[in-house]
Structure 1
Amino acid sequence: MNGRSKNGRSNNKAWFLIAGLIILIIWVYPCLAASTHLRDRVIEKTLDNGLKVLVLERHQAPTVSIYLRFRVGMVDEGGKGLAHLLEHMLFKGTSSVGTKNFSEEKKLLAKIDQVGQKLDSERKKGKAANPKVLKELEEELKSLQKQASQYVITDEMSLLYTENGAVGLNASTGADLTTYQVSLPSNRIELWARLESDRFANPVFREFYSERDVVLQERRQTHESEPLSKFWEQFLAVAYILHPYRHPVIGWEPQIEFLSKSQMEEFFKTYYVPNNAVIAAVGDIRAEEFFALIKRYFGLLPRQDHLPEDIATLKEPPQIGERRISVHLDAQPQLMIGYHKPTLPSREDYVFDLVDAILSTGRTSRLWRRLVEKDQIAVRVNTANGMPGARFDNLFMIMATPRYPHTVQEVEQAIYEEIERLKTEKISDRELQKVKNQLAGEFIRSLNSNAGLASELSYFESVAGDWRYIDTHLEVLDTITADEIQEKVKKYLSEENRTVAILVPKSGGGGK
């Protein structure tokens, strides 16, 4: 006899449950409290020119993370690639950074612009272009670029940051926003203010034509030659018929090829203005000192009193029937399904955060258990709420890769069966609470680092219009009921509201 009674096993089980509850209380509830307490810790200020500044002091280490976001992205230029190219160009320096002699360089830049415009005009003629004229202009442009290069200090801005201990220097362009970020020692904050204010007050778009070629090459390498990127582009072009979310962030090649410097300069003057920007700083920083620094360096930047009406306010017409596309590429079979839905901060968006977790977060999620483990018809399945952006109504996405020899059609049918379950069978209290706890943990972990918190503060201030979305997010999630999930799934995850894309391997084979 082992001496362990039935009661003993029950007691052990009870202790495990108690221990689990203690861990939950230790982990989740302080996290919830930390999130809620942001409203008492974040200090905000808006300059007279409209620049919004958010500061959260954390003095555990002598570093600070700073995010500068402009509320401008691909949607504001309709897929031309202007926003992305501009982000590249803003690393080229200013009239005082990135140059050995700007007065001499400036003369050459003017000549480069004249020749570059003539070359573009001739190229636009296509087959009617004069080969001799093209060759002469190309040679002249190349010669001028070589002369101008003697004045360029390549990557001087990045080097200044690196030499002063900065890490994580980066920039990114999305459908909705453009972001410039860095983490650096807190005694180097003034260096950041000087460099960034200069970047946005006195940019010099040197090496424009060569950088445009770099972006074209990037487009060919990461989109034209990358099957999944091409698949995604084709999907979006079908899912949206009017809204600019239908375009790729990098732009389409025929438009990138002829982007002009004057277009980019006008785009910069229109959108890179203080009342269209948010700065968030988190770390070893004194709020009032930082505000004074921002006012000194950014306060004289002129506001744009009449920002253009969003072209993205063109509302996507309601979908009234399934849209379906087959894309033939040299790649493994893939499936994409998207459903139109409202964006944040609508209640529907919170609901689909939960649906996302129910269907594909972790190995205990419904789609993973059904498609990957039980039926073994897929090697990968995941969902995503809020694609391809969040400033405007977006998509709830489901993506899957069939397991050979199973087909895309088998996977698609199994997904619809799981969606039907959500419509007809109310989710249990236990499962609902589990996914709410998962989301709480994930959300709080994203706020653990200075950079993570600066990112979230600046993102939600830019997209949702208020950084306090962070504080209320978990509170609202907790009010979502099983009935509400069932109702919204029935309303939005319908056949007439879905777009389906199937990647068909050119060479044929399994999963076609």
Structure 2
Amino acid sequence: MINKLKLFACTLLVGATGFAQEVAFTEYDLDNGLHVILHQDNTAPVVTTAVMYHVGGKDREDGRTGFAHFFEHLLFEGTENIGNGKWFEIVSSHGGSNNANTTQDRTYYYEIFPSNNLELGLWMESERMLHPVIKQKGVDTQNEVVKEERRLRYDNSPYGNLLQSMSANLFEKHPYKDPNVGYMEDLDAAQLDEFKAYFDKYYVPNNAVLVVAGDLDIKDTKEMVQNYFGDIPAGEAITRSFPEEAPITEQVNAKAYDSNIQIPATVIGYRTPSFTAKDSYVLNMISDYLSDGNSSKLYKKLVDDQKQALQVGAFNLEQEDYGMYLIFALPLGETSSEILTTEIEEEIAKLRNDLISEKDFQKLQNKAENSYVNSNSSVAGIANSLARNYLLYGDTNLINDEIKIYRNITREDIKRVANEYLKPNQRVVLEYLPESSQAE
């Protein structure tokens, strides 16, 4: 017990220290439009090299979904100077690790190396940007990889297509209606020239940000960045014009079926504003209030007290153009979807009609500060935050200022946002059912 208390005290001290320390960075543009952000932290001999491209699942033509996620895989296939299948071998043999991920709005690649391999990381990311090998053999190989991923994560996974089912009902026109991973028939139908054209359009320096964070020297790193990225040609300026969605003014009732589940789910979804809006931060706090931890309002009510649900959760899924606010519940026993929907609405109505208590509000503020500290507790986390804040939010210094947004949120803001976005006539109520019930 004493050791646990000591550990807890140390955690508090580290958190407090991390919170007080501002993240310093240097940022500038190369002539080709590549934005560069450098963060020097010489406390450990580790460096993160990362590139975030402003391309995601929503950047597609009808009938050609899933290209951004596909490229997340394809751009590990190899380059003119990195042999097929050698990418991961090079990284691991130099004591590093790497990964990539794609959302509807951006794609992120990164390597973490011992700092004496900083130049290697820069070279590899410049190779990915300038010299990728996009040939039919690699496309066919990665097409099978993506298909297998879809089978494992979505089609054969319990509740795997729940999010897709909800987004298809929340959006009618915007590309967010389709899954980030895309449809396999679209990838099968795509020609090699289409993949090459997609790369040429989006994977260009003026549509990306390079972040180097960790044990580095600013002057030396600038020289290396110029050497490896300075001569990469800029692409054409990218313009986006996505269709706007008409407001939801009447409740939408929908059903979806899943052969991998036995327990149905009730999902309530609302369309919400861009993650750049202050209201999106307020919705994060509402999520914590409703379902973060055993003492949260929905969990305590539906799971602990009334024994109506096995599980319940509220999530603010933040995106660049529109967000999605989802509340998910699994019934216990004979509890119906209608009962769960009614009980959930009762708690949201309280948010619309009354101010939450000062005690609950202070808990939310504390959670926001803790989450803020944790997100920047590692060099890799800082690199991600710097890239995201610049590329998607248009403000790199959010890494230092974001906590001020949460601190300026009031109880009145929570009530206002609940009234603006979380009304019964603005929601989709989705019954996500076992496939066996479809024939009943």
Q: TM-score, normalised by structure 1?
A: 0.79
**Aligned residues with identical type, % of pairs:** 28
RMSD: 2.1
Count of residues in Structure 1 that have an aligned counterpart in Structure 2: 425
Query: Unaligned regions of 5+ residues in structure 1, if any?
Result: 1-21, 99-153
**Range moving further from structure 2, 169-178 or 73-82:** 73-82
**1:32 CA displacement:** 3.6
Write the letter of the residue equivalent to 1:75. Answer: K
Q: Deviations 1:293-313 (Å, cap 9, x if unpaired)?
A: 111100111112421x214x3
- Alignment pair present for 1:191 and 2:174: no
**1:224 CA displacement:** 2.5
Instruction: Give, in whole Å, the separation in 2 of the partners of 1:305 and 1:328.
Output: 43
Contact 2:49 2:122 in 1 (8 A): no
- Alignment pair present for 1:479 and 2:408: yes
- Alignment pair present for 1:310 and 2:240: yes
Write the letter of the residue equivalent to 1:33. Answer: A
- Alignment pair present for 1:165 and 2:95: yes
Q: Which residue of 2 aligns with 1:59?
A: 42
Instruction: Give, in whole Å, the separation in 1 of the partners of 2:329 and 2:50.
Output: 34
Contact 1:57 1:284 in 2 (8 A): yes
**1:249 CA displacement:** 1.0
Instruction: Give, in whole Å, the separation in 2 of the partners of 1:89 and 1:253.
Output: 15
Q: Alignment partner of 2:65: what SS?
A: coil
Q: Deviations 1:107-152 (Å, cap 9, x if unpaired)?
A: xxxxxxxxxxxxxxxxxxxxxxxxxxxxxxxxxxxxxxxxxxxxxx
**Range moving further from structure 2, 456-465 or 202-211:** 202-211
Query: Unaligned regions of 5+ residues in structure 2, if any?
Result: 1-8
Q: Alignment partner of 2:213: what SS?
A: strand
Please, which of 259, 267, 275 is the counterpart of residue 344 of structure 1? Answer: 275
- Alignment pair present for 1:405 and 2:334: yes
Q: Which residue of 2 aligns with 1:258?
A: 189
Q: Deviations 1:368-395 (Å, cap 9, x if unpaired)?
A: 111111111112111111x2x5211211
- Alignment pair present for 1:89 and 2:74: yes
Contact 1:45 1:291 in 2 (8 A): no
**1:26 CA displacement:** 5.2
Instruction: Give, in whole Å, the separation in 1 of the partners of 2:278 and 2:312.
Output: 26
Instruction: Give, in whole Å, the separation in 2 of the partners of 1:49 and 1:367.
Output: 51
Greater Rg by CA? 1
Instruction: Give, in whole Å, the separation in 2 of the partners of 1:31 and 1:345.
Output: 25
Instruction: Give, in whole Å, the separation in 2 of the partners of 1:189 and 1:242.
Output: 44
**1:248 CA displacement:** 0.6
Write the letter of the residue equivalent to 1:253. Answer: M
**1:469 CA displacement:** 1.9
Cα separation, partners in 2 of 1:25 and 1:469, compared to 1, 3 Å: same
Contact 1:28 1:437 in 2 (8 A): no
Please, which of 35, 38, 54 is the counterpart of residue 71 of structure 1? Answer: 54
Please, which of 398, 401, 419 is the counterpart of residue 348 of structure 2? Answer: 419
Q: Alignment partner of 2:315: what SS?
A: strand
- Alignment pair present for 1:280 and 2:211: yes
Instruction: Give, in whole Å, the separation in 2 of the partners of 1:27 and 1:335.
Output: 40
Instruction: Give, in whole Å, the separation in 1 of the partners of 2:346 and 2:382.
Output: 38
Q: Which residue of 2 aligns with 1:33?
A: 20
Taking the TM superposition and a 5 Å limit, the aligned residue runs for 1:75-474 are: 75-78=58-61, 80-98=65-83, 154-167=84-97, 169-206=98-135, 207=137, 208-307=139-238, 309-311=239-241, 313-330=242-259, 331=261, 332-385=263-316, 387=317, 389-474=318-403
Contact 1:68 1:279 in 2 (8 A): yes
Write the letter of the residue equivalent to 1:261. Answer: L
**1:96 CA displacement:** 2.3
Q: Which residue of 1 aligns with 2:26?
A: 43
Q: TM-score, normalised by structure 2?
A: 0.92
Q: Alignment partner of 1:88: what SS?
A: helix
Q: Alignment partner of 1:257: what SS?
A: helix
**1:403 CA displacement:** 1.7
Instruction: Give, in whole Å, the separation in 2 of the partners of 1:197 and 1:329.
Output: 43
Tell me which protein shows more helix as a share of its residues. 1
Instruction: Give, in whole Å, the separation in 1 of the partners of 2:191 and 2:147.
Output: 14
Q: Alignment partner of 2:407: what SS?
A: helix
